[in-house]
Amino acid sequence: MFGRLAAKQVPNKEYAVVPGKVNPDLQRERKKCTFDTLELTHFLDGGVEKYKDRKERENFFLSDPELMDDVPPELMSHEDQYRNGLKKACYLFKKLKELRENGGTIDNYRQLLGGSLGSAILKDGNPLALHYVMFIPTLMGQGTPDQCAYWIEKAWDCRVIGTYAQTELGHGTFIRGLETTATYNPKTQQFFLNSPTLTSYKWWPGGLGQTANYAVVVAQLYTKGECHGIHPFIVQLRDEKTHRPMPGVIVGEIGPKLGMNATNNGFLAFKQVPIPRNQMLMKNAQVLPDGTYVKSPSNKLTYGTMMFVRVVIVQDMASYLAKAVTIAVRYSAVRRQSEMVPGQSEPQIMDYLTQMYKLFPYIATVYALKFSAQWLWNMYNDVTAKIDAGDLELLPELHSIACCLKAVSTADTATAIETCRLSCGGHGYMACSNLPTTYGNVTAASTYEGENTVMLLQTARALMKAYAKAQAGEQLSPTVEYLNRNRKFRPWSNTVDSIVEGFKQIAAGKVAACALSLQRGVESGLSSEEAWNRASVQLVDAAEAHCRAFITDRHLDMVRNGMNELSPALREVMAQLCDLYCVFWALKRTGDFLQFCGIRGEDVQNLQDYQNELLVQIRPNAVGLVDSFDLRDEIIGSALGSYDGQVYERLLQSAMLSPLNAKPVHDSYGASLSALLRAKY
Ligand SMILES: CCCCCCCC/C=C\CCCCCCCC(=O)SCCNC(=O)CCNC(=O)[C@H](O)C(C)(C)COP(=O)(O)OP(=O)(O)OC[C@H]1O[C@@H](n2cnc3c(N)ncnc32)[C@H](O)[C@@H]1OP(=O)(O)O
Ligand SMILES: Cc1cc2nc3c(=O)[nH]c(=O)nc-3n(C[C@H](O)[C@H](O)[C@H](O)COP(=O)(O)OP(=O)(O)OC[C@H]3O[C@@H](n4cnc5c(N)ncnc54)[C@H](O)[C@@H]3O)c2cc1C
């Protein structure tokens, strides 16, 4: 991928990357694989037809030289990263439009732009991402049919480019506390947008800096002198011809960040900016021309777009992780270091059990997350269809499970990617390994779209309610069924079923312990809010346990019931990965298993032995497993992880791209170093 510039500059020709030459260790690994990698790729894609579609799509985008970088973004200034990101995003969206004319859907777009393909083309962020991931979905989810008819076409065609402006300098989590106001004037039939304080400045929205000319702005609605809470408004930010900020609009970019440096996150403030009445999104709540407020069936429907993105994030995490673990596994097959047996040749680092332990549970995690994400996506579609028909019953259940899956999937993936980086030693620290950028993208997701602790506390709130229902003998919804007080837990039996059962027992035990802490808190004279705060460390822990029970249950269910059409050889490997995921987490939670599941010291030893056995069983298939993710080199974007394993050649090649290597003596020598070298003290 860095080919065009580098080929001229590598100091020794014999160390240049040779097209088609594959590292012999990787070749050997591929021969050892016990299953058909293509069969697994087809399974991952959801069938041969979808596989072919994906290949075609990838070819369409990744064979286009306009979309590939000549210089890696990490060598660019912040400004050039944006310039480059925007140029490619605009070109990409022209291509996407072509595709849409051939029948693309919002889900196609999401698959194209989220996860692997998107992060190959726009490595460090996409200034148009929010337009597609939040602006259009908000119009679709919260606009009336008339508003949809007017705005969505324009937005699809990129005649307006939008973002989602909710977070402010002072508030991101507590959105009821937002300070931007939208005050209705029935005389002019307009809302006036205003930013009354410094802390009311919008801060963070992607693409807001210099890109978007419109935004969905979330503001406190005032009409007839009364505040009705936060509502979404479509606000024009920039002139459609000149792109200059509209009168009364103060807008700019917020500066460099840990990652995502091409997303053009921005700030925004209003000085009494008028918009017509029909630019409040009125599918749920309305303001009539005379200023009368008509309530929404649920004020949580305003939160619908956030829910959508949380669901999407879980899917994206699986893609990012597949990429990172592909890099680390291929590198671990190529890299040789130390002596396992004195005097013998240096082994591949993947032969160290500690290295297998660093990597293989995360191959398994890709599947664990993927299966949960699929389930969540289906539930999201079912529930939104029901909501459209006026049935809101399942909304709290969806919210609760989406919140914890968003938190656990992002936190686990960030830890996994950092572990992949560590597993690559020094070379993993290089930007050209693509692990730092991937980490930067992923760790952001622990904060955006609902900070993880806050998300887990939302789930905990639902768990406490479910527990109270369970105690009252009421019926429970499927994801919390295990809290049923009449449920008999099966005794421990040293099987993976027992581990999955154990996670439910742990979650149930922790939920009950939280309820007890809350009750004791209140009995000791604390208010219910103070008691909640006092129990919140435990509550977060209980929500995480609930999520782990859900993920392991989904994973095992898929292996047992969702793979019937696969060959026995492949099913065996899939079962090993599921077992590994479960054992890995059981061992990380030994204390919980001892506390809640009646296991003994020797059971822990058995689990340990089984984990070791699984690692060794998976070892010959490790490269085959990551090959099955079928990520093209352009997607991998890493000197360490390319299919051919020419690791050292690519490291040297990418070093040569550094502008510091352009001349034998760098200009700064004359400017400062030469004087220091000659100075007499
Ligand atoms: C087309 C595809 C294109 C694809 C392109 C892909 C490219 C991808 C690339 C890169 C993507 C990058 C994308 C970056 C994007 C980042 C964007 C943002 O970050 S936008 C800002 C997000 N902001 C938050 O998420 C705020 C978090 N805060 C909140 O959500 C709320 O304030 C919350 C939930 C913490 C508290 O809300 P309360 O204060 O109103 O609620 P309480 O009082 O705690 O609860 C009231 C009741 O409401 C329920 N509730 C709360 N939220 C709900 C919801 N969403 N749905 C249903 N019920 C909910 C609760 O469960 C509770 O229920 P009971 O009373 O217990 O029954
Ligand atoms: C890369 C990136 C892109 C973003 N894009 C957008 C965008 O496009 N549009 C947009 O509107 N916003 C966007 N955001 C903002 C994002 O949604 C918020 O940053 C996020 O919701 C967290 O809010 P906060 O920053 O106010 O954190 P805070 O809430 O201030 O969190 C700080 C700490 O306080 C804790 N805390 C806060 N409340 C509680 C509580 N009730 N109980 C316990 N602990 C609590 C948190 O756990 C955390 O440890 C983006 C953010 C990032 C990083």
pLDDT in tens, 615-628: 999 999 999 999 99
Query: Closest ligand to 216 CA?
Result: 2
Nearest residue CA, atom 26 of ligand 2? 172
Ligand 1, atom nearest to 307 Cα:
55
Mean of pLDDT values over 599-605:
95
Does the fold of domain 305-477+486-626 match that of domain 159-302?
A: no
Q: The domain 305-477+486-626 is classified under which CATH number: 3.65.10.10, 1.20.140.10, 3.40.1170.60, 3.90.1010.10?
A: 1.20.140.10
**Distance between CA atoms of 402 and 400, rounded to whole angstroms?**
6
Q: Which of 118-122, 396-400, 444-448, 592-596 has the lowest mean pLDDT?
A: 118-122
AA identity, residue 190? Q
Strand partners, 191: 184, 275
Q: Is the CB–ligand 1 distance for residue 171 below 6 Å?
A: no
**Distance between CA atoms of 623 and 630, rounded to whole angstroms?**
11
**Distance between CA atoms of 411 and 447, rounded to whole angstroms?**
10
Find the residues whose C-beta lies inside 6 A of ligand 2.
Answer: 130, 164-167, 171-173, 204-206, 260, 265, 444, 447-451, 453-454, 457
* Predicted confidence (pLDDT) at residue 658 exceeds the cutoff of 70: yes
Q: Is the CB–ligand 1 distance for residue 658 below 6 Å?
A: no
In the numeric block, the tokens 């088609």 are attached to: 20
pLDDT single digits (tens) 94-140: 887 777 666 655 566 666 666 678 888 999 999 999 999 999 999 99
Q: Is the CB–ligand 1 distance for residue 306 below 6 Å?
A: yes
pLDDT averaged over every residue in the chain? 94
Q: Is 259 annotated as a binding residue?
A: no
Q: Is the CB–ligand 1 distance for residue 532 below 6 Å?
A: no
pLDDT single digits (tens) 554-583: 999 999 999 999 999 999 999 999 999 999
Q: Is the CB–ligand 1 distance for residue 238 below 6 Å?
A: no
Cα(47) to centroid(ligand 2), Å: 38
- What residues have CB less than 8 Å from 409, skipping those under 6 apart? 313, 314, 317, 318, 369, 372, 373
Q: Is the CB–ligand 1 distance for residue 114 below 6 Å?
A: yes
Q: Is the CB–ligand 1 distance for residue 167 below 6 Å?
A: yes
* β-strands 226-236, 286-287 pairing: unpaired
Contact predicate 533/546, CB 8 Å? no
AA identity, residue 123? K
Q: CA 554: distance to chain centroid?
A: 19
Fold classified for 159-302: Butyryl-CoA Dehydrogenase, subunit A; domain 2 (2.40.110)
CA distances from 658 to 2, 125, 346 (A): 12, 22, 32
Q: Is the CB–ligand 1 distance for residue 164 below 6 Å?
A: yes
Cα(522) to centroid(ligand 2), Å: 29
Q: Is the CB–ligand 1 distance for residue 166 below 6 Å?
A: yes
The tokens of 24 are what?
A: 């012999």
In the chain, what are the domain boundaries? 159-302, 305-477+486-626
The tokens of 444 are what?
A: 């952001």
* β-strands 190-194, 273-276 pairing: antiparallel
Q: Which residues are catalytic?
A: 449
* Predicted confidence (pLDDT) at residue 524 exceeds the cutoff of 90: yes
Q: Whose CA is closest to 93, among 116, 74, 121, 73?
A: 121
Q: What DSSP assignment string belongs to 303-321?
A: GHHHHHHHHHHHHHHHHHH
Nearest residue CA, atom 52 of ligand 2? 448
The tokens of 323 are what?
A: 């990429």
Which of 119, 230, 260, 448 gets mutated to test ligand 2 (max ligand atoms within 8 A of its CB)?
A: 448
Mean of pLDDT values over 230-247:
98
pLDDT at 183: 98
H runs (alpha helix) in 102-236:
106-113, 115-121, 129-130, 136-142, 145-156
Q: Determine what percent of the chain is predicted with pLDDT higher than 70.
A: 96
pLDDT at 9: 61
The tokens of 257 are what?
A: 């960040």
Q: What DSSP assignment string belongs to 55-88?
A: HHHHHHHHT-GGGS-SS-GGGS-HHHHHHHHHHH
pLDDT at 4: 42
Contact predicate 375/383, CB 8 Å? no
- What residues have CB less than 8 Å from 274, skipping those under 6 apart? 188, 190, 191, 192, 193
pLDDT at 8: 41
The tokens of 219 are what?
A: 């503001």
Nearest residue CA, atom 50 of ligand 1? 300
Contact predicate 515/472, CB 8 Å? no
Nearest residue CA, atom 9 of ligand 2? 205
**Distance between CA atoms of 11 and 126, rounded to whole angstroms?**
35
The tokens of 26 are what?
A: 């990787």
Nearest residue CA, atom 2 of ligand 1? 110
Nearest residue CA, atom 18 of ligand 1? 449
Backbone angles phi, psi at 8, to 5 degrees: -70, -25
pLDDT single digits (tens) 445-468: 999 999 999 999 999 999 999 999
**Distance between CA atoms of 69 and 86, rounded to whole angstroms?**
13
Q: DSSP letter at 658? A: S
Helices (H) and strands (E) in the chain, counts: 26, 11
Mean of pLDDT values over 301-313:
93
Nearest residue CA, atom 2 of ligand 2? 448
Give the gyration radius of the chain's Cα atoms: 27
Helix (H, G, I), strand (E, B) or coil at 233: strand
Residue 576: HSE in the Cβ half-sphere, 13 Å Cα cutoff: 23
Q: Determine what percent of the chain is predicted with pLDDT higher than 90.
A: 88
pLDDT at 152: 95
pLDDT at 93: 84
Cα(444) to centroid(ligand 2), Å: 10
- The angle, 0 to 180 degrees and rounded to 10, between the axes of the packed helices 106-113 and 78-101 is 140
Ligand 2, atom nearest to 452 Cα:
47
**Distance between CA atoms of 394 and 266, rounded to whole angstroms?**
35
pLDDT single digits (tens) 311-356: 999 999 999 999 999 999 999 999 999 999 999 999 999 999 999 9
pLDDT single digits (tens) 209-234: 999 999 999 999 999 999 999 999 99
What's the pTM value of the predicted model, to 2 decimals? Answer: 0.97
* Predicted confidence (pLDDT) at residue 11 exceeds the cutoff of 90: no
Contact predicate 217/303, CB 8 Å? no
Ligand 1, atom nearest to 174 Cα:
32
Nearest residue CA, atom 47 of ligand 1? 300
**Distance between CA atoms of 35 and 37, rounded to whole angstroms?**
6
Contact predicate 463/481, CB 8 Å? no
CA distances from 416 to 86, 310, 328, 366, 443 (A): 30, 19, 11, 10, 11
Q: Is the CB–ligand 1 distance for residue 203 below 6 Å?
A: no
Which of 88, 204, 306, 376 gets mutated to test ligand 1 (max ligand atoms within 8 A of its CB)?
A: 306
For the chain, the straight-line distance linking the first and the last C-alpha, in angstroms and rounded, comes to 49
Cα(270) to centroid(ligand 1), Å: 24
Q: Is the CB–ligand 1 distance for residue 104 below 6 Å?
A: no
**Distance between CA atoms of 258 and 437, rounded to whole angstroms?**
9
Nearest residue CA, atom 6 of ligand 1? 114
Query: Closest ligand to 453 CA?
Result: 2
Cα(3) to centroid(ligand 2), Å: 40
Ligand 2, atom nearest to 451 Cα:
22
Mean of pLDDT values over 270-280:
98
Q: Whose CA is closest to 536, among 468, 449, 464, 446?
A: 464
**Distance between CA atoms of 569 and 91, rounded to whole angstroms?**
44
Ligand 2, atom nearest to 172 Cα:
26
Q: Is 562 annotated as a binding residue?
A: no
Cα(307) to centroid(ligand 1), Å: 6
| Angle (CA) 121 6 654, round 5° | 70
Q: What DSSP assignment string belongs to 605-649?
A: HHHHHHHHHHHHHHGGGHHHHHHHT---HHHH--TTT-TT--HHH
Q: Whose CA is closest to 307, among 370, 250, 384, 246?
A: 384
- What residues have CB less than 8 Å from 426, skipping those under 6 apart? none
Mean of pLDDT values over 353-362:
98
pLDDT single digits (tens) 131-187: 999 999 999 999 999 999 999 999 988 899 999 999 999 999 999 999 999 999 999
Most distant CA atoms of the chain, gap in Å: 90
ipTM for the assembly: 0.97
pLDDT at 2: 40
Cα(599) to centroid(ligand 1), Å: 38
Cα(317) to centroid(ligand 1), Å: 18
Q: Is 643 exposed, middle or buried (0-12, 13-18, 19+ CB in 10 A)?
A: middle
Cα(122) to centroid(ligand 2), Å: 24
Q: Is 600 exposed, middle or buried (0-12, 13-18, 19+ CB in 10 A)?
A: exposed
**Distance between CA atoms of 584 and 62, rounded to whole angstroms?**
37
